[in-house]
Amino acid sequence: MFSELLNGMLRRTQNDFGVDTTDPRTKLCRPKLRLGVIPGGSTDAVAYCTSGTNDPVTAALHITLGDSLGLDVCSIHQGNELIQFSTTLLAYGYFGDTLLESEKHRWMGPKRYDWSGFKKFLTLKSYEGEVAFRCMPPSGSSPLDTRRCCTGCRICANAPNAIEEQSTTADDVGWQVVRGKFVCVNNATTTCACARAKKGISPAAHIGDGCTDLILVEKCSRLKYLRYMLATAMQSGNPFNLNFVKIHRVREFLFRPGSLEDSDCCESDVPNSIQEEMGCTRSVRSSVWNCDGEIISEPSISVRVHCQLVSIFARGIEGIPSSLSQDDFQNGVVGH
């Protein structure tokens, strides 16, 4: 329900102000309305990330008190078409396959996600693809940081000004291209914490720093992928210490399925120099995207983060230290 309201509100706001949403680089207008989130979904990721709990009474108190928190939003384009907005998880590969499989078992209720995830783990697939991303996080922000985003976060408070200063930088600065076979490509705009992954898939992610954490899990065995899943869900270590897992804090990225062979070149929204480096791709087996629990069938997309585009009734996670030792991070103390 939150995703539907968010998308409807943002689309209506851009339409009212005459914003051209076909251009991925257009600066979007911030809605005047503030969203309240009463958790009651399957993961409650937004509530966990912004309040540290999925308690509906706590959420109602934040609304009553009029608390306000800026939340980053990703716009997702396919070519010149705006497909959707996302605030938590955008995932290709394993999590996309799991969501697609779960649609066949809706009669099972919430347990369909466990069953579908188990089936897809047994037939674990990897997908060929290329990712171009732009790494320009605000000063002092890193996806491997031991500091948690909490109430009064300095990085989030300074992010709008830092992003504005960086906007004068040339569009072709900071881009990197990665090619390979991936079990999953996960994009975490927030920590994506939930009851089953208390620290989230990216514990150091910020709520409003104008960046998103891009996690690339390269082709690996089922045993290795299980290690990654356990490290993420059960706080049994730092998953980013695994040599087949890479994480990047990015401002925007583009994904294409395929490899540098045959076929015709596709248009992209990255600078020409990066487009030439990505080259041409051939048609290969592809997955779908899991966008906040909704399926995006088109695998070739471009994603851009809009710093604190919406406001919600929350004040951030309270009562936690803003800085922890590396040992605490590895031992699972960092969590929601």
pLDDT at 256 over 50: yes
Reported pTM: 0.86
- Give the pLDDT mean for 69-77: 96
pLDDT at 332 over 80: no
Token representation of residue 292:
């906040």
Q: How many whole angstroms separate alpha carbon 98 and alpha carbon 105?
A: 11
Q: Which amino acid is at 255?
A: F
pLDDT value of residue 272? 56
Summarize pLDDT for 169-200 with one digit per residue, the tens.
Answer: 656 667 899 999 999 999 999 999 988 888 89
Summarize pLDDT for 133-173 with one digit per residue, the tens.
Answer: 998 766 668 898 877 899 989 999 988 888 887 776 656 66
pLDDT at 72 over 70: yes
Q: How many whole angstroms separate alpha carbon 10 and alpha carbon 208?
A: 17
Q: How many whole angstroms separate alpha carbon 62 and alpha carbon 161?
A: 26
Average pLDDT, the chain: 85
CA 59 to chain CA mean position, Å: 23
pLDDT value of residue 268? 44
Report helix, strand or coil for 74: strand
The residue among 68, 14, 64 whose CA lies nearest residue 207 is: 68
Report helix, strand or coil for 181: strand
Phi-psi region for residue 218, left (φ > 0), alpha (ψ -120 to 50) or beta? beta
pLDDT at 20 over 50: yes
